[in-house]
Amino acid sequence: MKSSIYNICIQTDGCNSIIFNALKGTSILVDSEMKTAIESNSLEMICPEDLFTLVDSGFLVEDDLDERNVYAFEHNQNKYSTDISSFLVLPTLSCNLSCPYCYEDSLNISRSRSMDRNIAENVTNFIKNQVMENHSRSVVLGLYGGEPLLESDLCIQIAESISKWTMSRGLNYFSALTTNGTMLSQETFDKLRPFISSVHFTLDGPEEEHNKMRFYKGGRGTYSDLMKAISLAGESNIHLTVRIHIGDRTGQGDFAKVLGDLEAIGLRGRPRTYLYFMPIEPKDECFNTSSKKSLRRKLKNIELLPCIWNMARELGWGESLHVDAGQEHSLLPFSRLPCGFLKNGCYVIDPSARLYSCPSVAGIERYSVGSISQDGTAIWLPSYYDAITASPTDATACKDCSHLPLCNGGCPVRPSSAQEPDGCHLKEFYNKKILTHLAHKYPTLIWGT
Amino acid sequence: MKGSLFNVFIALCDGKYAIFNTMTGALVFADEDLKGILGSKDVRIDELDSEMVNRLEKMGLIVENGVDERRLFKYNYLQNRYSNRDAHFSILLTYKCNLSCPYCYEGRTTKPEKSMDDEMVERVIKAIIGKVKETGSRNLSLALYGGEPLLCLNGGMKILRSLSSWCNSENVNFKSALISNGTLLTRATVNTISGHVDAVQLTLDGPRWYHDRLRVFCNGRGTYDRILESIPLLREAGISVILRVQVSMENIVLLAELFDDLKKKGFSEDKGIRLYAFPLMELNPACCSYSSLCIDEDSYEDILPTIWAEGLKKGFVMAFKPTPSFIQPYCSFASDSSYLIDAFGDVYKCVSLVGQQDHKVARIDSMGRFIDVSFELCEFMARDPLKLESCFNCVYLPTCSGGCAYRSLLSNRTYFGKDCALHRTLEYKKILFYIRSKYSDRLKVIE
Ligand code: SF4
Ligand code: SF4
Ligand code: SF4
Ligand code: SF4
């Protein structure tokens, strides 16, 4: 037996430590003696009973096991299998609002382009071709923007076509509309409803806060219109996801206010309702994770989450939160990929039918990895293969890192934080996540800092 | 523009060359000049007309400077290995066999006898359906083998019937094959399997007198006539036949005699009968690759081409242009959706390791689930030819992809090694053979 290379040891107070196994997602509280035994591979000091537990939970592994292969296998399996094909379509890059954070990034996206019907036709053909080529059983369609409902006819055109096509082929179909909510009239919703499964809204905090961030070109806030839209969608049985941003100044009471407003429109206890809290991040955040500033902000934000979750739970929103380890919106989602977008079978399509491997750069031609031609087939650039085959198991800094199964090497599109001269500080970020998660899950244990 | 990493140059007569690209399968003939241009690192495309540049690029013989062809290979290779499109299961129905071929017993002290019981048959059906559902595969192929699978015909038929009707209702394409020694294929048996089995693979060891010394019933009687009798029965039932000819140093000179006999029986005219030469191996005949050889490693690069040529003379095409492994995988079990299940319900990833407990990757429990999934599976799957230095730099990487993992295990005690055995030179010979058989009128190959 030997210690797992994916054991992460975090000191909690003077004498105790947490060991978290990043591959198995298991954690254990140990005293300093046990910690030394595991860290230094002095296993003769451990009694047989403990030994069994440690092996069973993956803290210790067989001598001849190279866990890197386990990781590599899971990583590749996640990345290359295409049982699901997913398409994020941006029918337009323009938006009827002028939220500051959308413009405050370094990417300078020109926001005036929209698709035309012909391109939309090519895009639907591409989707069908690609699903066939991938031999997928399930198709996920995302309508995204800009504000997709500025082109609601295109949204309907694409969603209707794909929905009917999947039905005729016996494929599973799931589609989500991400909207700022300001253009969702009853009429538009009724037209779209048969072809979409879910609507995704974002709130920037309580009314006052939200209106400072999300306003029409003239400056009028969007909160009340957004609430109307959520309420309207909420009356149907559609899936609803509400993302609530955590801003620098949002406090506990503010979230209670938002939840109160959502309760007033009947969302509390509504089935198929998903609520999650997210720190506001610039659109190009993934590109800057390696900066110290970003790290500081992230560390601070992580701390806030458990309190918010607890409050939401106390107010009766427990069923809408999905924050257990392994769940999508938790601190430890246990994916084997750095990003859900960099996956075989996942495509981001801009209004000019260019293809991207990432939504945050959609619309910026130099980041495009291919394009859709008239006949609905893709022409890939070499950069597509470079991006998709990039693997943290090849990166010198990451391939032996204990945090690899949690971090997965970070975004391969951005410059790697692992190559920073002072080493990778993402480890600190993940340690914080682990501790915060555990503190939330086992509140009776007392932690140091 | 630069010349592809995967161009193989073959000298023909009169200063002509054939250039074969192992990634795209494109084959072109070139003169010294063009060869020189393509062979250089920095292709002087200004020396070619734009039409030509276009064509060469389409065929993958030249690529843009920014293209990393290994990335392209990696993408295709991994996409194929992890594709959920085709699920394949080989099922060892029974370890029993009604023959006693000497090479099957070499080095074995006990003869395994286990057959799949009815309960296990049910479990296996459940397990396969579960896997296909889970991965959403569109095609399911099944190979029944043994021992001699026809000694467990009831179990086999139960599996075939259940799976084909399930596939039918779920819109999954279903194909199945039987790997048999052929001696139990009577008219009655063929009637039973007819409509359920698409192909049957039979094995011959040489011409009658030679075959009958090796492939014998327990009483020592030869099996050649019995096997050949079954072929027309199978063909009448619409089942295609794959004749696998086992080649060893000893029988090589005799194969012409076998081919003659097969031709006389009219088998060369029937498109439903395919012949292929397979170096005699110690273990299981279910492996479709050229693995587990027991003839001298250096000699098959001469032997196999001789046999292909002999076969061709009698009308049997036995070798083809090399194909990239992401189109036709070299190892049937390299794919994440392929497994072998034996009579005990143990699951393996390699046909040559079936029955070796320490190499099993999972087992099937009473609920028909794959449980006790072992790290062996990860190790087998994580094998990556691009991480092996010689494969990284090898022009045959796309067609070979590192060769047989089992053979690497034998020689390196790990899957993480290369197995060039049937690639480095044999691939070259295959291309030669292909050119010779297809373009013999136009070109003479320099030996
Ligand atoms: S590809 Fe990179 S930048 Fe884009 S969303 Fe993923 S992690 Fe972020
Ligand atoms: S980016 Fe940093 S934390 Fe992540 S795997 Fe690489 S070295 Fe480890
Ligand atoms: S590893 Fe080799 S012997 Fe085993 S199944 Fe694959 S090709 Fe055949
Ligand atoms: S195993 Fe040998 S022939 Fe095959 S790719 Fe590797 S080096 Fe080339």
The pLDDT tens digits for A286-300 are: 666 667 777 787 888
Q: Do B36 and B134 have their domain in common? A: no
State both tokens at B215.
Answer: 């492939």
The dihedral through the CA atoms of B253, B258, B260, B261 has a sign that is: positive
Q: Do B144 and B219 have their domain in common? A: yes
Pocket test residue of A394, A398, A408, A431 for ligand 2, highest count of atoms within 8 A of CB: A398
Specify the pLDDT at position A449: 39
Q: Do B63 and B164 have their domain in common? A: no
Place of tokens 């597509």: A384
User: At which of B67, B92, B107 does a domain end?
Assistant: B67
CB pairs under 8 A between A and B: 76
Q: Do B200 and B130 have their domain in common? A: yes
Counting from 1 in the atom list of ligand 2, the atom nearest the Cα of A404 is 5
| Full residue range of the structural domain in which residue B88 is found | 83-313
CA distance B1 to chain A (A): 13
Q: How far is CA A404 from CA A69, A329, A418, in A?
A: 12, 19, 11
State both tokens at A267.
Answer: 């969302």
What does DSSP assign to residue A313?
I
Phi, psi of A443 (to 5 degrees): -65, -20
| Closest among A240, A235, A241 to A186, alpha carbons compared | A235
Instruction: Classify residue B365: in a domain, yes or no.
Output: no
> Which listed ligand is nearest to A360 at the C-alpha?
1
Instruction: Classify residue B164: in a domain, yes or no.
Output: yes
- Judged on CB neighbours under 10 Å (0-12, 13-18, 19+), B226 is middle
Q: Do B222 and B108 have their domain in common? A: yes
**Which residues in A lie closer than 8 A to residue B379 (C-beta atoms)?**
66, 69
Q: How far is CA B135 from CA A32, B130, B140, B216, in A?
A: 45, 9, 11, 43
How do the pLDDT tens digits run along chain A, 449 residues long? 899 999 999 988 778 899 999 999 999 999 989 999 999 888 888 888 999 999 999 999 999 899 999 999 999 999 999 999 999 999 999 888 877 766 655 556 666 778 999 999 999 999 999 999 999 999 999 999 889 999 999 999 999 999 999 999 999 999 999 999 999 999 999 999 999 999 999 999 899 999 988 899 888 999 999 999 999 999 999 999 999 988 877 777 889 999 999 999 999 999 999 999 988 776 666 666 667 777 787 888 888 888 899 999 999 999 999 888 888 888 888 889 988 888 999 999 999 999 998 888 888 898 899 999 999 999 999 999 998 999 999 888 899 999 999 999 887 766 555 556 567 888 888 999 999 998 888 877 655 43
Cβ proximity of A46 and B44 under 8 Å: no
Closest Cα in chain A to B136: A137
Instruction: Classify residue B328: in a domain, yes or no.
Output: no
Which residues face B445 on adjacent strands? B12
CA distance A78 to A321: 25
Instruction: Classify residue B54: in a domain, yes or no.
Output: yes
Residue nearest to atom 6 of ligand 1 (CA): A339
CA distance B446 to B319: 20
Q: Do B150 and B234 have their domain in common? A: yes
Q: What percent of chain B has pLDDT over 70?
A: 90
Q: Do B40 and B182 have their domain in common? A: no
For residue A240, the one-letter residue type is: L
Cβ proximity of A73 and B382 under 8 Å: yes
Put simply, the answer to whether B79 touches A135 (Cβ < 8 Å) is no
Query: Among A68, A73, A343, which would you mutate to test the B interface (most chain B Cβ atoms within 10 Å of its Cβ)?
Result: A73
Which residues are CB-neighbours of B49 under 8 A, at least 6 positions away? none
Instruction: Classify residue B283: in a domain, yes or no.
Output: yes
Q: Which of B67, B85, B379 sits opposite A69 (nearest CB)?
A: B379
Query: pLDDT digits over B385-417, tens only?
Result: 999 999 999 999 999 999 889 889 988 999 999
Q: Which of A80, A170, A382 sits opposite B67 (nearest CB)?
A: A382
Q: Do B161 and B207 have their domain in common? A: yes
**Is residue A381 in contact with ligand 2, taking CB distance under 6 Å?**
no
**Which residues in B lie closer than 8 A to residue A82 (C-beta atoms)?**
79, 83-84
Q: Do B238 and B275 have their domain in common? A: yes
Query: Among A5, A80, A167, A404, which would you mutate to test the B interface (most chain B Cβ atoms within 10 Å of its Cβ)?
Result: A80
Place of tokens 């991207």: A356
What are the residues of chain B with a beta carbon less than 8 Å away from any beta carbon of chain A?
A: 64, 66-68, 71-72, 74-75, 78-79, 81-85, 135-138, 171, 336, 375, 377-379, 381-382, 384
Q: Do B157 and B237 have their domain in common? A: yes
Residue nearest to atom 7 of ligand 4 (CA): B391
CA distance B89 to B175: 11
Closest Cα in chain B to A65: B375
User: At which of B294, B313, B332 does a domain end?
Assistant: B313
Closest Cα in chain A to B72: A385
CA distance B14 to chain A (A): 38
CA distance A179 to A92: 12
Q: How far is CA A75 from CA A13, A341, B82, B135, B214, in A?
A: 34, 14, 11, 16, 47
CA distance B246 to B5: 35
CA distance A230 to A303: 29
Q: What is the pTM of this model?
A: 0.90
Instruction: Classify residue B392: in a domain, yes or no.
Output: no
Phi, psi of B119 (to 5 degrees): -65, -40
CA distance B51 to B40: 20
Query: pLDDT digits over A86-138, tens only?
Result: 999 999 998 888 777 666 555 566 667 789 999 999 999 999 999 999 999 99
- Judged on CB neighbours under 10 Å (0-12, 13-18, 19+), A155 is buried
What are the E-state strand segments in B225-349? 240-247, 273-279, 338-341, 346-348
What does DSSP assign to residue A138?
E
| Closest among A274, A278, A313 to A440, alpha carbons compared | A313
Counting from 1 in the atom list of ligand 2, the atom nearest the Cα of A426 is 3
Q: At what angle do helices A67-80 and B69-81 cross, to 10 degrees?
A: 90
CB atoms within 10 A of CB A143: 28
Instruction: Classify residue B8: in a domain, yes or no.
Output: yes
Q: Do B49 and B90 have their domain in common? A: no
CATH number at residue B111: 3.20.20.70
Query: How many CA atoms lie within 13 Å of A73's alpha carbon, on the beta-carbon side?
Result: 19
Cβ proximity of B332 and B354 under 8 Å: no
- Judged on CB neighbours under 10 Å (0-12, 13-18, 19+), B65 is exposed
Phi, psi of A174 (to 5 degrees): -140, 130
Put simply, the answer to whether A382 touches B81 (Cβ < 8 Å) is no
Query: pLDDT digits over A42-86, tens only?
Result: 888 888 899 999 999 999 999 989 999 999 999 999 999 999 999
Q: Do B245 and B200 have their domain in common? A: yes
Cβ proximity of A139 and A173 under 8 Å: yes
**Is residue A286 in contact with ligand 1, taking CB distance under 6 Å?**
yes
The domain total for chain B is 2
User: At which of B313, B330, B346 does a domain end?
Assistant: B313
Put simply, the answer to whether B83 touches A135 (Cβ < 8 Å) is yes
Query: pLDDT digits over B213-240, tens only?
Result: 888 888 889 999 999 999 999 999 999 9
> Which listed ligand is nearest to B290 at the C-alpha?
3
The dihedral through the CA atoms of B290, B295, B301, B307 has a sign that is: negative
Q: Which of B71, B79, B379 sits opposite A386 (nearest CB)?
A: B71
What does DSSP assign to residue B217?
B
**Which residues in B lie closer than 8 A to residue A388 (C-beta atoms)?**
75
Q: Which of A69, A79, A82 sits opposite B83 (nearest CB)?
A: A82
Cβ proximity of B217 and B99 under 8 Å: yes
Burial A50-85 (b: 16+ CB within 10 A, else e): beeebeebbbbbeeebbbbbbbbbbbbbbbbbbbbb
Instruction: Classify residue B429: in a domain, yes or no.
Output: no
> Which listed ligand is nearest to A407 at the C-alpha?
2
**Which residues in B lie closer than 8 A to residue A345 (C-beta atoms)?**
none
